[in-house]
Amino acid sequence: ERAYKPVSYVDQMAIHFTLNGNMILKDSDEGRRQSIRLSTAAEKAPIETSAVTYEEEEIKDEESTGDTEVAGVEEAEGPGAAEAAEAAEAEEPPPPRVKEQKLANQFNFIERASRTLNNPMRERASQSEPTPCKTFSATANQWKIYDAYVEELQKMERSKEKEKPKAQIAKREEEKKKGRKLTTLELQSDDINKISKAAKIMERMVNQNTFDDIAQDFKYFEDASDEYRDQQGTLLPLWKFQYEKTKRLAVTAISWNPKYKDLFAVGYGSYDFMKQGQGMLLLYTMKNPSFPEYVFSSESGIMCLDFHNDHPYLVAVGFYDGNVAIYNLKKATSQPSYKSSAKSGKHTEPVWQVKWQKDDMDNNLNFFSVSSDGRIVSWTLVKNELVHTDVIKLSVEGTTMQGPEGLQLQTFGCGTSFDFHKKIDYLFLVGTEEGKIYKCSKCYSSQFLDVFEAHHMAVDSVSWNPYHLKVFISCSSDWTVKIWDHTIKTPMFIYDLNSAVGDVAWSPYSSTVFAAVTTDGKAHVFDLSINKYEALCTQLVVSKKKNKITHIQFNPVYPVVIIGDERGHVTSLKLSPNLRRMPKAKKGQEVKKGPEVEIAKLDKLLSLVREPESQA
């Protein structure tokens, strides 16, 4: 309400800790009664010789507190009795004094036998404290046996600890006697581990000096000629990432890390059915373009990957042989931490896309995969094992085949891509090899919510708009990119790019900007708010005839896109100002930003498209 308000009462005291005590005052009525009772019990009980030494030790600790009973007797006898007592002390040694008993509150008293941690019951049975009841003698003996066992176990543990250093020294001496080559290798590896971090920093510094002009362009360069291009833009090439062992492999997947904005993962494999072999997973950073940060090799080609949003060190990967796996970047191993198998329900065809989802009800990690075998599978990490659940099977209507002996065999659709809704958790889209897009729900495993007759060839990519809840985009090998409203069966926008479209991606900074790559080596950037009919930028990225572009991804923070090709190269390019134009402010008003503005901007475009349709 933007105003100060009076508060009638504020409690300024906060109690952080409260503990009920079990002691009572000596001067209270209950304290006097207990002290008289304990003193009379001590006079009647015989003092054993074995207890004398124990009581003398206790007296030393409690000399500061004094003896309340002796002080009371001295006051009653008077000054004459005190002089006689001093003379007696000088002639004879002082008698052993009984240990002063602590006065316990009978209504708030915790004892060892009353605790649930110690199973057997026990009553105090020490020499200075005689047991009041004979029925507890058996339990006291049980506690003595228990204490003896505990002491013996502690002795055994101490002896083991003493023997450990002796055994280690003996092993070192044996290694020295056997040979010195092993020890030198081990020492070298230890030294390398110590200086690896410093070497990595030095490598980045050297690379920054080597590619200083590119680093300056990335940080500061803005193409001033955009002002004279009539809303057209360009892509400025920055770093090129390549690795010797991936020259004959194609870039099959790209994904930016959600936490470290300069780090991205690249999956390598082959789209050629006849040229299948090994695959690789590399992680590059823009701080060091000359060499990857992480290198993982696999027996089968990697076809897709995805970073976990909450755990950015976990990477889900799909392989050409139908397996899925999880790589943990924290572990210094070249093999995946978890991997599926034929026993755990792996796919029978290549896995074309994987996506992390929210954890299940038991907080187990969960991701989904789509494959050419027509199955969308949910993988859950339970007790260090991947457990699969078939979410849906892509059955194709009206395509039953005649099998042997008159059997009707139902054929399944080949899933090629999918994407989950950003807000509605159960809703997702699946693109198929037949060109159809299925709108599905996690709740229904046998039927679809809707079917879009989207393309004439395989759907290579499908993706929801990051801002608008109804809009999604798809691309296909039939040369087209289409933008849809999932409540309408016909596309809102259709773009023919004159070549097979390999991938399409929405920009993270605007609801109307997207980019697509085609097999003729070109990258296309569109902004619907500026031009609804043509691309603002169409630029050749790969010049070689035998090379094709496969994937494109926007950086979540910087005005940069990365593009992968079939030769294993990843090229980073910077968007010119015309390709990332923000809305202009009116006179006397501030520029409005945020998801609501982006949604309104796209809604306005969609309404313009719907009006001619309604009139027709």
Q: Is residue 497 part of a domain?
A: yes
In a domain, 521, yes or no: yes
Q: Could you tell me if residue 94 is inside a domain?
A: no
DSSP state of 534: S
Mean pLDDT within 105-131: 49
CATH number at residue 464: 2.130.10.10
- pLDDT surpassing 80 at residue 410: no
Across 320-374, the runs of DSSP E, i.e. the strands, are 324-328, 338-339, 351-357, 366-371
Please give the structure tokens belonging to residue 59: 């007296």
Give 415's contacts (C-beta < 8 A, 6+ positions apart).
352, 370, 371, 372, 374, 375, 376, 394, 430, 431, 432, 433
Confidence of residue 387 (pLDDT cuts 50, 70, 90): confident
Q: Return d(Cα 574, Cα 236) in angstroms, integer.
A: 5
- Residue 129's pLDDT is what? 45
Whether residue 49 has pLDDT greater than 80: no
Domain hosting residue 357, numbered range: 210-399+411-583+593-610
Q: What percent of the chain is predicted at pLDDT more than 70? A: 72
Is the Cβ–Cβ distance between 495 and 479 less than 8 Å? no
Q: What does residue 252 show for φ and ψ, rounded to 5 degrees?
A: -105, -10
Residue 298 in this model has a pLDDT that exceeds 60: yes
Residue 153, in any domain of the structure: no
**126 pLDDT above the threshold of 50:** no
pLDDT band at 174 (very low <50, low <70, confident <90, very high): low
Mean pLDDT confidence for 96-113: 58
Q: Is residue 1 part of a domain?
A: no
Could you tell me which residue, 285 or 163, shows the higher pLDDT? 285
Q: Is residue 490 domain-resident?
A: yes
pLDDT value at 607 more than 80: no
Q: Average pLDDT of 558-585?
A: 85
Q: In this predicted model, which residue has the larger pLDDT, 350 or 607?
A: 350
Is 108 part of any domain? no
The DSSP bridge pattern shows strands 375-382 and 480-485 to be unpaired
Residue 68 confidence class, pLDDT cut points 50, 70, 90 = very low
- Inside any domain, residue 479: yes
Confidence band for 208, pLDDT divided at 50, 70 and 90: confident
115-124, 163-172, 219-228, 353-362: segment of lowest average pLDDT: 115-124
pTM score of the predicted model: 0.65
* Closest to 562 measured CA to CA, from 605, 604, 517: 517
What is residue 95's predicted lDDT score, i.e. its pLDDT?
61
- Which stretch, 55-69, 274-288, 331-345, has highest mean pLDDT? 274-288
Structure tokens at 100: 């002063």
pLDDT at 39: 80
Residue of higher predicted confidence among 54 and 155:
155
Angstrom distance (rounded) from CA 252 to CA 540: 20
Q: Looking at the 3D structure of the chain, how many domains does it have?
A: 1
pLDDT value for 318: 92
Q: How far is CA 593 from CA 556, 583, 585, 590, in A?
A: 16, 8, 10, 9
Q: What is the DSSP string of 423-492?
A: S-TTEEEEEETTSEEEEEETT-SS--SEEEE--SS-EEEEEE-SS-SSEEEEEETTSEEEEEETTSSS-S
Top mean pLDDT of 357-366, 498-507, 579-588 is at 498-507
